[in-house]
């Protein structure tokens, strides 16, 4: 069969879909990634053929505007969701014609799309292909985003967008979903298939120290690469200073941001710190005792798969729900952004490292995820459902 994968341009939207795409390709299916921006090159680097659906158009620009607006604050939850939904609909509208053209000319049997990219669902309907929504975190119908995309789809002749997909792929285990406030009240798709989440975070050359176990507890701190979460590294710098006398190795991933404030710290205050621009979480998490992050789905589910307790500092999107679910499951703690200081994060780290309960809960989730169907099994199941 021929599976066209699509997602919004960010690589964090591509990465969760890569393992299944690679497995399908290995099983003899044809796979094409149709997207834009950085995700095109990232797909190629993952060994997948890719196609740019909106060449010459800045699909990212609405998202950048949204980031600036959210960073200013002052929006109610309802206003924020409306702004996010409208932005993703605008991005989807830019991509839609190219997606339909790709799916039609390439003769796709199915379009596999990440949840927020409802242009994938519209393209499947317009091209006469099946639609498969591939979860990248906790289950969520995203009705506010689907409703925003509906007028765009109707203008192209799709009047059943709100009916959802043919198949939903779920990566979130049941012990997490029972705490999910956004759990769908009705099916997202006609059928649902569970999938073991095997994190893909890209590749990198590992430094020698990353190959073995650390001589003291290793804590990784990553706030992604968005200016909304990283800023100038002020919070990360506070965490460095506050943990200077803790018996930990603190690994900071900058995401390419310049950590100006960190460089101003006395050398003695950062002797326990390693700074790297990028390391695949899958490669480094098994050696870690905890992770501090922005509560994005990619970081969270990488930590779950590794059985590592987490401290979530949720800034944007569904991050607050993600962090709360981890806390309710007992696999982590939440530090609200308004309360996030170096000392508060230090206290949270002390709690997680000082007892076994968080590690036990995180490892229970990892074991549960490991028991979900593998990519090769899901590939075979999808073939049965979609023929």
Instruction: Determine the Cα–Cα distance for residues 321 and 334; give it in Å rounded to an integer.
Output: 10
**What is the tens place of the pLDDT at every residue in 12-24?**
999 999 999 999 9
Average pLDDT over residues 203-226: 88
Domains of the chain (ranges; CATH) run 2-197+372-386 (3.40.50.2000), 208-369 (3.40.50.2000)
Report the pLDDT value the prediction gives residue 225, as an integer from 0 to 100. 52
Helix (H, G, I), strand (E, B) or coil at 284: helix
Average pLDDT over residues 114-138: 97
- What pLDDT is stored for residue 289 in this prediction? 97
- pLDDT at residue 227 is higher than 50: no
Cβ contact 123:6 at 8 Å = yes
Q: Are 207 and 239 in contact (CB under 8 A)?
A: no
pLDDT over 50 at 230, yes or no: no
116 or 227: which leads in pLDDT: 116
Specify which of 77-81, 245-249, 255-259 reaches the highest per-range mean pLDDT.
245-249
Q: What is the pLDDT of residue 228?
A: 43
Is 70:80 a contact under the CB 8 Å cutoff?
A: yes
Q: Tell me, what's the pLDDT at 21?
A: 98
pLDDT, one tens digit per residue, over 57-77 is: 999 899 889 888 877 878 887
**pLDDT tens for residues 304-320?**
999 999 999 997 768 99
Other C-beta atoms lying within 10 Å of the C-beta of residue 191 = 16
Please report how many Cα atoms fall inside a 13 Å half-sphere around the Cα of residue 22, on the Cβ side.
16
The more confidently predicted of residues 387 and 127 is 127
Q: What is the pLDDT of residue 309?
A: 98
User: pTM for this one?
Assistant: 0.93
CA geometry: angle 11, 18, 318, nearest 5 deg = 55
pLDDT of residue 124: 98
Overall residue count recorded for the chain in this entry: 387
Q: Which residues contact 294 (CB under 8 A, 6 or more apart)?
A: 222, 223, 224, 226, 229, 312, 313, 314, 315, 319
The pLDDT-based confidence of 256 (bands split at 50, 70, 90) is low
Question: What Rg do the C-alpha atoms of the chain give, in angstroms?
Answer: 21
Please state which of the ranges 70-79, 81-90, 101-110, 211-220 shows the lowest mean pLDDT.
Answer: 70-79
To the nearest whole number, what is the mean pLDDT of the chain? Answer: 92
Is 108 or 75 the better-scoring residue by pLDDT?
Answer: 108
Does residue 226 register a pLDDT over 60? no
Q: What percent of the chain has pLDDT over 70?
A: 95
Cβ(378)–Cβ(20) below 8 Å: yes
Would you say residue 387 has pLDDT above 90?
Answer: no
* Percent of the chain residues topping a pLDDT of 90: 78
Span 331-379, pLDDT tens digits: 999 999 989 999 999 999 999 999 899 999 999 999 999 999 999 999 9
Q: What is the structure's pLDDT at 235?
A: 86
Higher pLDDT, 182 or 257: 182
């Amino acid at each position: 069969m021929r599976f066209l994968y699509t997602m919004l341009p960010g690589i964090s939207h591509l990465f969760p879909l890569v393992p299944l795409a690679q497995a399908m390709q290995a099983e003899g299916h044809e796979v094409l990634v149709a997207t834009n921006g950085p995700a095109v090159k990232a797909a190629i680097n993952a060994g997948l053929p890719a196609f740019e659906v909106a060449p010459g158009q800045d699909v990212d620009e609405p998202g950048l505007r949204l980031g600036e607006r959210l960073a200013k604050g002052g929006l109610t939850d309802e206003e924020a969701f409306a702004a996010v939904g409208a932005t993703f609909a605008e991005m989807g509208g830019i991509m839609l014609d190219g997606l339909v053209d790709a799916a039609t000319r390439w003769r796709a049997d199915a379009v596999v799309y990440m949840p927020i990219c409802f242009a994938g669902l519209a393209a499947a309907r317009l091209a006469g292909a099946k639609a498969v929504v591939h979860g990248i975190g906790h289950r969520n119908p995203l009705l506010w985003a689907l409703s925003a995309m509906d007028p765009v789809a109707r203008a192209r002749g799709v009047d059943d967008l709100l009916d959802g997909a043919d198949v939903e792929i779920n990566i979130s285990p049941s012990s997490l979903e029972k705490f999910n406030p956004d759990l769908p009240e009705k099916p997202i798709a006609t059928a649902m298939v569970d999938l073991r989440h095997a994190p893909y975070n890209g590749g990198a050359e590992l430094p020698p120290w990353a190959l073995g176990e650390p001589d003291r507890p290793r804590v990784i701190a990553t706030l992604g690469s968005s200016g909304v979460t990283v800023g100038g590294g002020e919070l990360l710098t506070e965490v460095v200073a506050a943990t200077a006398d803790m018996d930990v190795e603190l690994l900071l991933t900058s995401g390419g941001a310049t950590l100006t404030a960190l460089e101003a710290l006395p050398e003695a205050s950062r002797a326990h710190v390693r700074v790297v621009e990028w390391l695949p979480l899958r490669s480094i998490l098994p050696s870690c005792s905890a992770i501090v992050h922005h509560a994005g789905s990619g970081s969270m589910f990488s930590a779950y798969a590794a059985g590592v307790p987490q401290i979530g500092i949720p800034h944007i999107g569904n991050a607050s729900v993600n962090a709360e679910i981890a806390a309710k499951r007992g696999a982590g703690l939440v530090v609200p952004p308004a309360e996030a200081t170096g000392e508060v994060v230090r206290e949270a780290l002390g709690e997680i490292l000082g007892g076994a309960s968080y590690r036990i809960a995180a490892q229970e989730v990892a074991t549960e995820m490991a028991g979900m169907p593998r990519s090769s099994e899901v590939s075979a199941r999808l073939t049965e459902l979609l023929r």
